Amino acid sequence: IDAEAQSVLDAIEENDVDFLRIQFTDILGTVKNVSIPASQAEKAFTEGIYFDGSSIEGFVRIQESDMRLKPDPNTFAILPWKTREDGTVSARLIADVMDASGSNFAGDPRHVLKRALKKAGNMGYTLNAGPEPEFFLFEEEDGRATTITHDAGGYFDLAPKDLASDVRRDIIYGLEQMGFEVEASHHEVAEGQHEIDFKYDDGLTTADNIATFRAVVRAIAAEHELHSTFMPKPIAGINGSGMHTHLSLFTEDGENAFHDADDEFNLSETADQFLAGILEHAPAITAVCNPTVNSYKRLVSGYEAPVYVAWSDVNRSALIRKPAARTPAASRIELRSPDPSCNPYLALAVMLQAGIDGIERGLTAPDPVRENIYEFDETAREEYGIDTLPANLGEAIDVLETDEVILDALGDHIAEKFIEAKRAEFDDYRAAVSEWELDQYLETF
């Protein structure tokens, strides 16, 4: 047993941990759990934990169902809300998924991200990523979620209007107990909508953190008898929930490769190429960063969400923004399309691979768009050469299928399963008859 695993065993001992939840994420981003008594921890590290992969969405067929979970000792954390509940102490470990032959399983999203990170590593870069996840808190009725907002606060409102600040405070405590560095939290623009920003970290840690974040928010909200949702657009007519993602590449000696003091935006040529790569692959990565039918109800004009493929230094309607950086370490770009329903591992993997492609091909970014793009008509957009993001999940899957770089980033197994699952989801949606249609047509025709 290695030193890292040993330190986890020590921590289990010290904290009287009773149960370990071994977690991994399926292709659609759902966190799966296997619970083991703490006494089995050593064996989990030496032998792994066997499970039947055929029962996991998008994993494997019956004949190849012998899968093994290999816990990553770096991800040990005590689950604060579990511990409060009934006196027993539970901790979690995030695992890599191995196939029957003992190799990393091609359908493990965490492995897809690791592959992208390794590619960046071979070029001498570490990815840093900082997300800004937004979510709604709704009231529950008879144990079921409603869309009744918990408060009527607005952007940066303070109590007493912001009733949810208690919940947010408890969420932040929970996150801090799990090792997060929370940088900011505020009420968002819409009623009942919130944002909690935590400090950027390397890509793998950030993806793990996003998965953890969603679990913490859900659990703590439930303690307050509220339903939290990361659904991108739960209420028509008000802002949806996004997950802007800040990205930069650091070199091996910890320098920010995106920083250039001589540049107007303090951004280097590498940053520019990376940005250009993301712009080029933006339509194809949308399926991954905005993977639900509902995601596209957020990506419409007028609600601070991006619709057009352009970047800006001043404009918050653009797909990519160059935020003002106060220190060299803070030089970064911000991708504003992702939403919190995405699989964080796959989302970061495709963003990174798109950026890397830009660096490898030495792409140059177009000029920034400083006007309000929402107000552009088609001619103006053509003049600027501005593409639009896919309008719905069906279109998003169509463009994903044409982008070899992004398909490669996902790998054959995940690309195939993802596209299959998302096509089925979209077909199902197309066949459904909505409230809107009944309102429009039932009495008209």
Q: Which is nearer to ligand ADP, 257 or 399 (CB)?
A: 257
> Can you tell me which of 154, 323, 366, 368 binds ligand ADP, judged by CB under 6 A?
323
Indicate whether 128 belongs to the interface with ligand ADP (CB under 6 A). Answer: yes
> Can you tell me which of 132, 272, 339, 403 binds ligand ADP, judged by CB under 6 A?
132
Q: How far is the CB of 249 from Mg ion (least distance, A)?
A: 19
Binding characters for ligand ADP, 154-173, by CB under 6 A (x = yes)? --------------------
Judged by beta carbon distances under 5 to 8 A according to partner kind, the member of Mg ion, ligand ADP, none in contact with residue 162 is none
For residue 405, give both structure tokens: 């770089």
Which residues from 194-223 bind ligand ADP, rule CB under 6 A?
197, 199-200
Q: Is 52 a catalytic residue?
A: yes
Binding characters for ligand ADP, 423-442, by CB under 6 A (x = yes)? --------------------
Write down the catalytic residue from 72, 99, 134, 357. 134
Write down the catalytic residue from 72, 99, 108, 132. 132
Write down the catalytic residue from 108, 162, 195, 272. 195
Q: Which is nearer to Mg ion, 163 or 182 (CB)?
A: 182
Q: Which is nearer to Mg ion, 162 or 403 (CB)?
A: 162
Closest-CB residue for ligand ADP?
130
Q: Residue numbers of the site for Mg ion (CB under 5 A)? A: 132, 195, 197, 244
Cα 115–Cα 421–Cα 193 angle in degrees, nearest 5: 85
Indicate whether 332 belongs to the interface with ligand ADP (CB under 6 A). Answer: yes
Indicate whether 184 belongs to the interface with ligand ADP (CB under 6 A). Answer: yes
Q: How far is the CB of 244 from ligand ADP (least distance, A)?
A: 5
Write down the catalytic residue from 47, 52, 383, 420. 52
Indicate whether 329 belongs to the interface with ligand ADP (CB under 6 A). Answer: yes
Q: Is 188 a catalytic residue?
A: yes
What CA–CA distance (Å, rounded) separates 38 from 90?
A: 9
Q: How far is the CB of 215 from ligand ADP (least distance, A)?
A: 19
Write down the catalytic residue from 84, 176, 252, 316. 316
Closest-CB residue for Mg ion?
244
For residue 174, give both structure tokens: 């929970």
Judged by beta carbon distances under 5 to 8 A according to partner kind, the member of ligand ADP, Mg ion, none in contact with residue 422 is none
Q: How far is the CB of 338 from Mg ion (least distance, A)?
A: 11
Indicate whether 247 belongs to the interface with ligand ADP (CB under 6 A). Answer: yes
- Residue 12 contacts residue 89 (beta carbons within 8 Å): no
Q: How many Å is the Cα radius of gyration of the chain?
A: 22
Please state, in angstroms and as integers, the Cα–Cα distance from residue 118 to each residue in 123, 349, 389, 413, following that order: 9, 11, 29, 19
Q: How far is the CB of 353 from ligand ADP (least distance, A)?
A: 17
Q: Which is nearer to ligand ADP, 250 or 426 (CB)?
A: 250
- Residue 349 contacts residue 112 (beta carbons within 8 Å): yes
Q: Which is nearer to ligand ADP, 12 or 307 (CB)?
A: 307
Residues near ligand ADP (CB under 6 A): 128-130, 132, 183-184, 197, 199-200, 244, 246-248, 256, 323, 329-330, 332, 334
Active-site residues, by number, are: 52, 132, 134, 188, 195, 244, 316, 334, 336
